[in-house]
Homo-oligomer: A and B are copies of this chain.
Amino acid sequence: MNSFGRIFRISIFGESHGPALGLVIGGCPPGIPVSVDDFTIDIERRSGGKPGTTPRKEEDSPEIVSGLFNGLTSGAPITILFRNKDTRPSDYEEIRKTPRPGHSDFVAWKKYHGFNDYRGAGHFSGRLTLALIAAGVIAKKCLENIQIEARVVSAGGCTDVDAAVQSAFREGDSIGGVVECITSGLEVGLGEPFFDSAESLIAHLAFAVPAIKGIEFGSGFKSATMKGSEHNDVILDEDGKTLTNFSGGVSGGITNGNTMVFRVAVKPTSSISKKQVSYSIESGKMEELSIKGRHDACIALRVPVVMEAITAIALTDLMLIRQTQI
């Protein structure tokens, strides 16, 4: 259940306040150059320290534990660890008693009969997206001539993202946002009919990312308001290029040779400075709750690099499966 993929298969593990988090990748082709430096940019893009993200900068550096030999993938499983530093468990004692609204605290407690590591959301922490990003760095290297780029297109309903984030930050509140991910250079034929459609795999992974509440491909929810005569993309040539791209690059679940476009809805950060109330497991009453520390005003700002990573993970697996059909 902590694994995903058929050939390029990732397994993630770890907690935000335990010794480490990380991942294992099976099925990665041999001979791909990988170094610790390759991860720097994408980890930096995810990390805090920017306006609207938590000011405490996490300095995360990958420890490659297996699967590399002489700087190249060896064909064996690749394991990458991220050690947790400066964890201060005392900050999180209150969570044990009073589950934070919008967080996984309550369900984790129920699901694991109270045995869950509740410190900083434990295994449910958004910090585990570091593992997805690390997998994405490797996956991007497997996808030659394919460009994946994601960005925040709106926050709190505004396209002036910075202004919206700063406003929420000043109020001790948070806001949601929309992230768009565009992939170009895709050949026709990635994805399988029905259960392993390109959209299915990407949506599956997108909803594995904390705070994602929706996903749409191409014209998405706008499709529901359109007519067939507008929406049908006219095919223009033998490569499948279409006049419009309402399909978002996927037909019948299979990449159709056009740019793949999807957007995800990111909810506002659940941790806010403002006072809230919640049911206390300990007292059996509603209690006032104040979440300490400094928080992201807009978690969506960290999401683009994660969406790129999951797209690369899904496409690498589909590309390897595609090689069994030729």
User: Which residue numbers of A lie inside 8 Å of B, CB to CB?
Assistant: 1-4, 6-7, 9, 11-15, 18-22, 24, 26-27, 29-31, 63-69, 72-79, 81, 99, 101-104, 106-108, 110-113, 115-117, 121-124, 128, 154-157, 168, 171, 173-178, 188-189, 192-197, 199-201, 203-208, 210, 212-238, 240, 242, 246-248, 251-256, 265-272, 274, 276-279, 281, 284, 286, 300, 320-321, 323-326
B residues within 8 A CB of A24? 2, 11, 13, 24
Chain B's nearest CB lies how many Å from the CB of A320?
4
| Nearest opposing residue in chain B for A214, CB measure | B216
Q: Which of B76, B200, B220, B325 contacts A214 (CB 8 A)?
A: B220
Q: Which of B124, B176, B284, B324 contacts A321 (CB 8 A)?
A: B324
| Nearest opposing residue in chain B for A213, CB measure | B223
CA distance A272 to B229 in the complex (A): 7
CA distance A1 to B119 in the complex (A): 33
Contact A240 B110 (CB under 8 A): yes
With contacts A110-B188, A200-B208, A252-B104 taken as known, whether A223 is within 8 angstroms of B115 at the C-beta atoms is no
Contact A266 B199 (CB under 8 A): no
Chain B's nearest CB lies how many Å from the CB of A127?
12
CA distance A195 to B272 in the complex (A): 26
| A to B CB contacts below 8 Å, 15 in the list | A1-B321, A22-B79, A74-B117, A76-B193, A174-B228, A208-B253, A210-B252, A214-B214, A215-B216, A219-B267, A223-B265, A226-B267, A228-B272, A232-B276, A235-B279
CA distance A204 to B116 in the complex (A): 27
Contact B175 A227 (CB under 8 A): yes
CA distance A29 to B22 in the complex (A): 21
Chain B's nearest CB lies how many Å from the CB of A59?
19
CA distance A290 to B38 in the complex (A): 40
Q: Which of B102, B117, B193 contacts A231 (CB 8 A)?
A: B102
CA distance A238 to B230 in the complex (A): 50
| Nearest opposing residue in chain B for A187, CB measure | B110
Chain B's nearest CB lies how many Å from the CB of A310?
10
CA distance A267 to B248 in the complex (A): 12
Chain B's nearest CB lies how many Å from the CB of A65?
5
Chain B's nearest CB lies how many Å from the CB of A159?
12
